[in-house]
Amino acid sequence: VIPGWFSEISSMWPGEAHSLKVEKILFQGKSEYQNIMVFQSSTYGKVLVLDGVIQLTERDECAYQEMITHLPLCSIPNPKKVLVIGGGDGGVLREIARHSSVEKIDICEIDSMVVDVSKQYFPDVAVGYEDPRVTLTVGDGVAFLKNVPEGMYDAIIVDSSDPIGPAQELFEKPFFASVAKALRPGGVLCTQAESIWLHMDIIEDIVANCRQIFKGSVNYAWTTVPTYPSGMIGFMLCSTEGPPVDFKHPVNPLDENECQKSARPLKFYNSEVCSPNHLLFIQHLSVCHHL
Contact residues for ligand AAT, defined by CB under 6 A:
53, 55-56, 65, 85-89, 91, 108-111, 114, 140-142, 159-162, 166-167, 170, 192, 228-229
d(CA 58, CA 47): 7
Residue among 111 and 154 whose Cβ is closer to ligand AAT: 111
Residue among 67 and 245 whose Cβ is closer to ligand AAT: 67
The residue at minimum Cβ distance from ligand AAT is 86
Return the number of other C-beta atoms located less than 10 Å from residue 132's C-beta.
7
d(CA 52, CA 71): 28
Residue spans of alpha helices (H) in the chain:
61-73, 91-96, 112-121, 123-126, 141-146, 173-182, 200-213, 256-261, 271-274, 282-288
Residue among 55 and 239 whose Cβ is closer to ligand AAT: 55
Helix axes 173-182, 200-213, angle to 10 degrees: 40
Catalytic residue status for 51: no
* Residue 60 C-beta: closest distance to ligand AAT, Å: 11
Which one of the listed residues 111, 159, 246, 255 is annotated catalytic? 159
Residue among 164 and 251 whose Cβ is closer to ligand AAT: 164
- Strands 153-159, 183-192: pairing kind: parallel
* Residue 8 C-beta: closest distance to ligand AAT, Å: 8
Residue among 76 and 85 whose Cβ is closer to ligand AAT: 85
Q: Residue 143 corresponds to which amino acid?
A: A
* Residue 77 C-beta: closest distance to ligand AAT, Å: 26
* Residue 139 C-beta: closest distance to ligand AAT, Å: 7
d(CA 141, CA 78): 25
* Residue 92 C-beta: closest distance to ligand AAT, Å: 6
Closest CA to 117 of 183, 37, 197: 37
| Strands, sheet with 232-239, edge to edge from the N-terminal-most edge strand | 134-138, 104-109, 81-86, 153-159, 183-192, 232-239, 218-224, 279-280
The catalytic site residues sit at 159
